[in-house]
Amino acid sequence: MKNGEFSLGLRVYIEDTDAGGIVYYVNYLKFMERARTEFMRAQGFGKDAIFNRDLMFVVRDVAVEYRLPARLDDELQATASIRRLRGASMVFYQSVRRGDEILAQGEITIACVDCSGIKPRRLPPEVVGILQGTQQEQ
């Protein structure tokens, strides 16, 4: 992780593309999901650690700008960094890049909910403490 930004290397497979060999738009969201999951795992919050605290993180809002297409066999980087922490949510800035080119970028808001009732729940203080240390300057 560099300057609060986590990066995950990916390769585009045929299953990621449409008939023209271009990455289908929804797959950028899948790439971003993988980067967020690995970012959280790197902070010590893998799925077991989260579920053992009776909480889940769910996507509440997505705003993505698609700029350039990725193609079959491209090597990409999906990034994740925290922009804002709120009581029961966090906002990630994410991108999918090919080298220095930004192919897609956006903000994804993640809500913290309890596992049993799927009701909003404040981020636990220990989670906030660790994530604040990774928060990217705006």
Q: Annotated active-site positions, please?
A: 18
Residue type, 44: G
Contact 9, 75 (CB under 8 A): yes
d(CA 67, CA 69): 7
**In terms of Cα–Cα distance, which of 37, 54, 52 is closest to 110?**
37
Residue type, 50: I
